[in-house]
Amino acid sequence: MASKLIISVATLFLLLQAIPIQSLDDSCSPYDSMEGENTSNCNTENDSSCCKAGQSYPLYQCSPDVSDDTSAILTLNSFAEGGDGGDLSSCDNNWHNDTEMVVALSTGWYDGGSRCLKNIRINANGNSVVAMVVDECDSQAGCDKEHAYQPPCRNNIVDASQAVWDALGISDGEYDITWSDDSE
């Protein structure tokens, strides 16, 4: 009886080893990549990165699951005409002043526009603010005029206006935040 139990436990262990278990960090992996090209037309406002020739950039169709406390990286973006955000905002086909509380979400969170013109709550630095989604931070394309010659967004980006950064009391770089859909 004991030998059968040992064999059963060993078999169960081997079966569990064969089942792929996806960790939370692997819940959204790149589906492809694109190669960057050099361009002198890149808009570097807000210290934006420019595509580099020969560098590979991952492409995502998804973002991590959204919860009441979704972890993300806050980046700075100008949604104004001539700003580093590229073209008009995709939700309303308008430019937005840097004084407006607006954001762009990575492709998966943008969810085909389902969050367009809806508010999200952003928490950082002990502060909480509400901002409206007006654009997609494209995780599937980049390095072209439409994207201000910048690489595709990573899958966990909340790209926010200067007004959002000011309201959160943070000043530059990238910042770890949490966010959620705002039901108010």
Q: How do residues 18-45 score in pLDDT, each as one tens digit?
A: 333 333 345 799 999 998 876 777 766 6
Q: How do residues 75-89 score in pLDDT, each as one tens digit?
A: 998 898 876 666 789
- CA terminus-to-terminus distance, the chain: 61
Q: What integer best gives the mean pLDDT of the chain? A: 83
What backbone torsions phi and psi does residue 123 show, to the nearest 5 degrees? -120, 125
Give the H/E segment covering residue 164: helix 162-168
Percent of the chain topping pLDDT 90: 57
Count of CB atoms within 10 A of residue 115's CB? 20
Of 73, 181, 176, 65, the C-alpha closest to 120 is 181
Question: Taking CA 142 as the corner, what is the angle to CA 155 and CA 92, rounded to the nearest 5 degrees?
Answer: 80
